[in-house]
A and B are shown apart, each in its own frame.
Chain A
Amino acid sequence: MAFLEIRDLTKVYGEKVVLDELNLSAQDGEFISLLGPSGCGKTTALRLIAGFLQPDAGSIAVNGREITNLPAHRRNIGMVFQSYALFPHMTVRQNIAFGLEQRRFSRGEISKAVDESLDMVRLNGFASRRPAELSGGQQQRVALARALVFKPQLLLLDESLSALDKKLRVQMQLELRQIQKEVGVTAVFVTHDHEEALTMSDRVAVMRNGRIVQLDTPSNVYRAPVDGFVAESLGEANFMHGSVRSKDRSGFVLDLGDGLTLAIATDHPVDVGETCTVAIRPEDIELAPAQSASSELVGHVRSIAFAGNTTLYVIEALHREIRVRRPNNAATENGFALDQEVALAWNSGAALVLSDRQGVS
């Protein structure tokens, strides 16, 4: 049995089913992200685990013990809130000590544990500050220390990094993950930022309409999404919808309508006549001047957006706009100009063939 075991968890508000028989299990020490757009139920799921809400059906068990009907203060779960929720009238030390005081540790033990966790989040000199005197990143670290100091069974993180600016966020992602590994605590992280979910997690649960659509490792959800929703949730993609005209050992030919066809190299099993959606990530597409390439797919550069380490090209080809993201470094030449004719190509396997039940239009 897994360390965290969620079965058929359901939460209904009036007519709206916010969480629809959610199932999730996590191994001891695992870091799982719940990723999805707002309203997909990810925060509700977290609040149910924390005990701030009561489910309408289903069960939650941690370490073999059912906690579904336990009040929040008896669950022994650490939580970091989006707003940090540090107690403004207490110092950093008092904030961190709070959970230990509730567990009636002796003054000496509390003092020692608080010092250790201040060490862990590198805030040694800040014990007597008030939260309002700290920067966002420091507040974040106090919140983390406060949530971990009493050695909870589970760590819950509710969009905990979204209030930070981009640079600090990336740094905190790494720091948070490192601390989580050191402590060895099982963590459930709610986020709407796919990069964050991919960077930090052992496994990512992509959620939609109160259900988990796909739960897998970051590279699998990114490289083998079960449908267009997942593909789109995890980053940019060019979607091409059509029917399979013919197939051979190396792949198949997709009929895009209007007399347009596209050869797709894949080992994904398809049937002739079946409709499907093919997604290609912008960074998987290579560009070359049209005359020098043997590619049969050519288009015209319609816009160029320089973004530092990458450049985003919008190419008009196959009667549609295809986004292509190329890396910029000193060695690469990205000398494509507006309206230039270019050839598009991608490695076999770059085309993600998606089941069509929930294709993205």
Chain B
Amino acid sequence: MTPRSWQWLWRAWALLAAAVLLAPILIVVPMSFTNSSTLAFPPEGLSLRWYSELFTNPQWTLRIPVSVETAFATAMLATVLGTLAALGMTRGSFPGRGLLTGLFLAPLVVPIIDLAVGDYFVWALGWQVGPVGFGGGLSGTVPGLILAHTVLAFPFPFITVSTALTTVDRTLELAAAGLGANPWRTFRRVTLPLIRTGVITGAIFAFLTSWDEVVVASFLASPRVSTVPVQIFTELRQSYDPTAAAISSVLLAAAVVLVGLLALIPVLSRRTYGRSVAVEIVRPDGGIAAVAT
């Protein structure tokens, strides 16, 4: 075959792969606009009735705030903790650093069902070791969901901030100290602005981790307090209610917007932290004759 036809073959293959990957995601969107009362593909008619259902049916109006609160709080908590951990791991030197880094990354590799069962026992039932009690009573509460999701989401800001920190020139922090900035001011004015991209990226990933998490949330959910993904799962097991497709589309839209934001970060930071080459021509008397940028 000619190189050209090879090229077409590769393109077709890539398209096929993309289609297989995207189909299950994209099929949900048209289904959510159906007019019939059960889920079907292709959808019958066109209507927004299932979207309005989201705002009227208490089944959903109770779940959406829980999901949003949990995801926001998880993103905040995981990002703060992940940033602190990343600072400690990259800046500090102490025995057991490697082991600790491994522990911080563990939520990525530990089977999620193990975490869910563990979360259930610790947060829901509580641990009683002699006189010391820990956890318990957090089943079916938003704080319980936040704590459990923070464990899952923690590695993302930890990784992104660690990576960002390795690119920060330590001399800049010394310079700030030399200019009179205490450690907190140095972090706030110099380090944090330079790792901003890593922090935002980590926060977005942490948010999304909580936003679509089903397994742990279903262990900790109660009939009164539960999240949107858990509710979708429950609904679909009972009926083919198209509301599930509508809310799935909303989740998808939120994720797409956030990832889009992620793609925008480099563009935004280039505006403020740009690199360009400047050429200076110095006259013999020391004045600057021309500066070309």
A135 interface residue per 8 A CB criterion:
yes
Task: Please indicate the chain B residues that have their CB under 8 angstroms from the CB of A122 in the complex.
Answer: 286-288
Q: A81-B171, A175-B286 are in contact. Are A50 and B180 (CB under 8 A)?
A: no
Min CB distance A152 to B, Å, is: 9
The number of chain A residues touching the other chain, given as a range, is 35 or more
| Interface presence of A18 (CB below 8 A) | no
Residue pair B177, A52 in contact (C-beta under 8 Å): yes
Total interface residues in chain B, CB < 8 Å: 33
Question: Which of A52, A103, A167 has the most CB atoms of chain B within a 10 A radius of its CB?
Answer: A52
Complex Cα–Cα for A305 and B293 (A) = 39
Given A88-B273, A130-B274, A132-B276, A78 and B172 contact (CB-CB distance below 8 Å): no
Q: How far is the CB of B33 from chain A (nearest CB, A)?
A: 45
Question: Which residue of B is nearest A149, CB measured?
Answer: B179
Q: CB within 8 Å of A: which of B249-293?
A: 272-276, 278-280, 282, 286-288, 291, 293
B residues near A102, Cβ cutoff 8 Å = 179-182, 185
Find out whether the CB atom of B282 lies under 8 angstroms from the CB atom of A150: no
CB-contacts of B40-60 with A (<8 A) = none
Would A85 and B282 count as touching, CB distance under 8 A?
Answer: no
* Among A72, A75, A98, residue most surrounded by chain B Cβ atoms (within 10 Å): A72
Cβ < 8 Å to A, chain B residues 152-185: 169, 171-172, 174-183, 185
Contact with B along A31-70 (1 / 0, CB 8 A): 0000000000000000000111000000000000000000
Contact B278–A135 (Cβ < 8 Å): yes
Residue B194 CB within 8 A of the other chain: yes
How far, in Å, is B164 (CB) from chain A's closest CB?
A: 13
- Tell me, in angstroms, the Cα distance from A130 to B183 when the chains sit together: 24
A54 to B275, CA, bound (A): 36
Does A355 reach chain B (CB closer than 8 Å)?
no
Give bound CA distance, A132 to B293, whole Å: 10
A268 CB-CB contact with B under 8 Å: no
B116 to chain A, nearest CB (A): 41
- B190 at the A interface (CB under 8 A): yes
In the complex, whether A99 has a CB less than 8 A from a CB of chain B is yes
- Rounded to whole Å, the gap between the CB of A125 and the closest CB of chain B is 9
Q: Does A314 contact B (CB under 8 A)?
A: no
What is the bound-complex CA distance between A50 and B174, given in angstroms?
Answer: 9
Closest Cβ of chain B: how far from A85's Cβ, in Å? 4
Say if the beta carbon of B137 comes within 8 Å of chain A.
Answer: no
CB <8 Å contact, A133 and B293: yes
Known: A88-B194, A133-B293. A83 touches B169 (CB 8 A): yes
Chain B residues near A51: list those with CB within 8 A. 177-178
In whole angstroms, what is the CA distance A71 to B174 when docked?
Answer: 11
Q: Does A320 contact B (CB under 8 A)?
A: no
Which residues of B have CB within 8 Å of A99?
Answer: 179-180
- Is the CB–CB distance between B174 and A134 below 8 Å? no
B273 to A, closest residue via Cβ: A89
A residues 121-147 touching B (CB-CB < 8 Å): 122, 130, 132-138, 146-147
Bound-state CA distance A98–B172 (Å) is 12
**B123-160 CB contact bits vs A (8 Å, 1 = yes)?**
00000000000000000000000000000000000000
Question: Which residues of chain A come closer than 8 Å to B272, judged between CB atoms?
Answer: 89
Given contacts A89-B273, A102-B179, A103-B180, contact A138 B171 (CB under 8 A): no
Known contacts A83-B169, A89-B194, A135 near B279 by CB under 8 Å? yes
Q: How far is the CA of A137 from the CA of B286 in the complex (A)?
A: 11
> Cα distance A130–B275 when bound, in Å?
9
- Chain A residues lying within 8 Å of B190, measured Cβ to Cβ, are 87
- CB-defined contacts of A147 to chain B, threshold 8 Å: 178-179
- A266 at the binding interface (Cβ < 8 Å): no
B189 contacts the other chain (CB 8 A): yes
Closest residue on chain A to residue B189 by CB atoms: A98
Q: In angstroms, how far is the closest chain A Cβ from the Cβ of B223?
A: 50
CA distance A134 to B293 in the complex (A): 8
Residues of A close to B175: CB separation below 8 A:
79, 81, 85-87
Assess A83 versus B171: contact at CB under 8 Å? Given A130-B274, A133-B278: yes
CA distance A171 to B283 in the complex (A): 11
Complex contact B276–A72 (CB within 8 A)? no
| A81-105 interface code vs B (CB 8 A; 1 in, 0 out) | 1010111110000000011001100
Judge if B118 is at the interface, Cβ distance under 8 Å: no
Which A-B residue pairs are the 8 nearest by beta carbons?
A: A135-B280, A102-B180, A99-B179, A85-B175, A72-B177, A85-B171, A132-B275, A79-B178
Q: Please name 21 pairs of A and B residues whose Cβ atoms are closer than 8 Å in the assembled complex, sorted by A.
A: A74-B180, A76-B180, A81-B175, A87-B189, A87-B190, A89-B272, A89-B273, A102-B180, A102-B182, A103-B180, A122-B286, A122-B287, A130-B274, A132-B276, A133-B293, A134-B280, A135-B278, A135-B279, A138-B280, A171-B282, A175-B286
7 extra A-B contacts, CB within 8 A, seeds A86-B175, A102-B179, A135-B291: A72-B177, A73-B183, A74-B180, A89-B273, A98-B189, A135-B279, A138-B280
